[in-house]
Structure 1
Amino acid sequence: MTKVLTEKNFTYALSENMRVIAALVVRSAVTRFGESRMGFVWVLIEPAAYVGVYLLVHASMDASIPFGDSALLFVLTGIFGFRMTRGIARKTERAIISNQPMLTYPLVRPLDTIIATFLTESTIWLIICWLFMGGLSLMMDRSVIVYPADFAECLLAILYFALSFAAFNAMISALIPRYDTFINMLSMPLMLASGVFFVPTQLPPDFQAILWWNPFLHCVEWFRTSTYLDYNALLSKSYLLGVSTGLLAAALSIERIFRRKIVAS
């Protein structure tokens, strides 16, 4: 009898939590695009702008393509390997701050706001990735995803890292206000050090050893290994997954220990 009641209580609590997250997802989507119809268009323009600037500089310098036969494919895989990861994480790590008034309700927990924002941003970026990669495939008249299984695995790894990175940053930002500004300042240096515009394995070993510690680089390299037949990647899947797991475990621990302070901040 006790076991049945426990199962019913768990099921009820889970359903309540799902309803809370669903409501927060709707709120996140409305907040993201409700104020401006140009919101989704800007999300499309941003990666296109990166690609356009790179191609313009590349053409003006008459430079060779770092790898493969298409500068567009090379830079697009780099942009999405980094920007999708950082874009999802950037919005998600502000979930607690953006939804602070909602935390006054007993049913809403800090983690609920993170999960809801993550689901919203992940959906948006997966749609954008599909549009760009599908469009490029039509332009080149061939499939640009040569290893579909690896590509699906890569997307899951990117989402896992983005969630873990964002959850950790969200918890620290709720406790240390200036931390959010610090993380935002690191976005450009991280992108430049993630192999978006170059092939890391073509650098001297000493530079490779330093860049290897950047988890965003492994997101980019994993993305590229699924779009090229013979790409020589500076990639450690276990390192990226290990960092993701460590960050997520730390975030959950911080949330559990400092939940009252996070809610009250």
Structure 2
Amino acid sequence: MSNSVQILRFRWFRPLRTITALMLREMSTTYGRSAAGYLWAIIEPVAALALLSIAFALFLRHPSLGTNFPLFYASGYLVFNLYMNVGNKVAQAVSFSKPLLEFPAVTPLDTILARFLLNYLTQLMVSVIIFGGIIAIYDLRLILDFPTIVLAYLAAGAFTLGIGTFNCYLFAAYPSYVQVWAILNRPMFLVSGIFFMFDIVPQPYRDILWFNPLIHLVGLLRSGIYATYDAPYVSLVYVMGVSGILFAVGLLMLNRHIRDAMNR
């Protein structure tokens, strides 16, 4: 029995050690060895939110929800920022760690999880700092629904992991797809609920937009931030279903065809 337990612990410890090593490598290459890299991860979304708030405040008396422009746009933009940054990092995991995949101890899933965990946790830190800063600076009296907020970020992480894993094989097998994906993603900034409320979109466009998982994630987060807002259109079953299918298909393609993709 003791030998079986030791073998089981070793099997769990080896991939954890590999993922930790890959995360440390990612930290040194992406964010550098100083705090400047992480500081830029905060400055970039803060600058974007400031521009959005100033631009729309010139034409609107108040945002579509609540009275604070930075809070409203942060509740949409930070979800989109997590989707874009973490999703692209995960999609490039195999290409980034291509030489290391020659070692039997490193698997495509290890590289995906390492990149996902590091960048997802970084975006969580950025969100906490920005939301906390907005609430403190404007002295907002909010009744936050923390379980709903946590659920929104967990669902956003699941969707980002799913879409990133699905694209991971395509990025490695077809390098030109990177540019195609960038072009396909450009409209997402405009149709993910950052600037508007899904509830006020007229038909039939509302039914079409419903199939965008980011609409559900933004709506769920806003229902946790704004006590008076309810988002009955949000479907976690849909978001998690799409996330699970994308993750499973992406992982299946990687396991079956990764060698062929890497040799192209």
- TM (norm. structure 2) is 0.92
Cα displacement (A) at 1:204: 0.5
Q: Does 1:236 align with 2:209?
A: no
Q: Distance in 2 between matches of 1:75 and 1:40?
A: 22
The alignment yields a C-alpha RMSD, in angstroms, of 2.0
The residue type paired with residue 247 of structure 1 is: L
Contact persistence 1:201–1:232 (CA under 8 A): no
- In structure 1, the partner of 2:180 is 182
The correspondence for 2:117, drawn from 119, 131, 135, is 119
Cα displacement (A) at 1:235: 1.7
Contact persistence 1:194–1:220 (CA under 8 A): yes
- In structure 2, the partner of 1:66 is 64
State which drifts further: 6-15 or 155-164. Answer: 6-15
Q: Does 1:251 align with 2:250?
A: yes
Q: Distance in 2 between matches of 1:15 and 1:110?
A: 17
Q: Distance in 2 between matches of 1:176 and 1:207?
A: 33
The residue type paired with residue 162 of structure 2 is: S
Classify the secondary structure of the residue corresponding to 1:259: helix
The correspondence for 1:158, drawn from 156, 159, 168, is 156
Q: Distance in 2 between matches of 1:251 and 1:144?
A: 40
The residue type paired with residue 31 of structure 2 is: F
CA deviation digits over 1:214-262, x for unaligned, max 9?
1122121111111012224342211111101111111121122213224
Once the two structures are superposed, the pairs formed by residues 1-265 of structure 1 within 5 Å of their partners are 8-34=6-32, 38-142=36-140, 144=142, 146-233=144-231, 234-265=233-264
For structure 2, list consecutive stretches of 5 or more residues without a partner in the other structure: none
Cα displacement (A) at 1:7: 5.2
Classify the secondary structure of the residue corresponding to 1:186: helix
Matched residue count = 263
Identify if the C-alpha distance between structure 1 residues 16 and 143 changes in structure 2 by more than 3 Å, giving closer, same or farther: farther
Contact persistence 1:80–1:129 (CA under 8 A): yes
The residue type paired with residue 199 of structure 1 is: M
Identify if the C-alpha distance between structure 1 residues 225 and 18 changes in structure 2 by more than 3 Å, giving closer, same or farther: same
Runs of 4 or more consecutive aligned structure 1 residues displaced over 6 Å after TM superposition: none
Identify if the C-alpha distance between structure 1 residues 144 and 198 changes in structure 2 by more than 3 Å, giving closer, same or farther: same
Contact persistence 2:94–2:172 (CA under 8 A): yes
- TM (norm. structure 1) is 0.91
Q: Distance in 2 between matches of 1:210 and 1:63?
A: 29
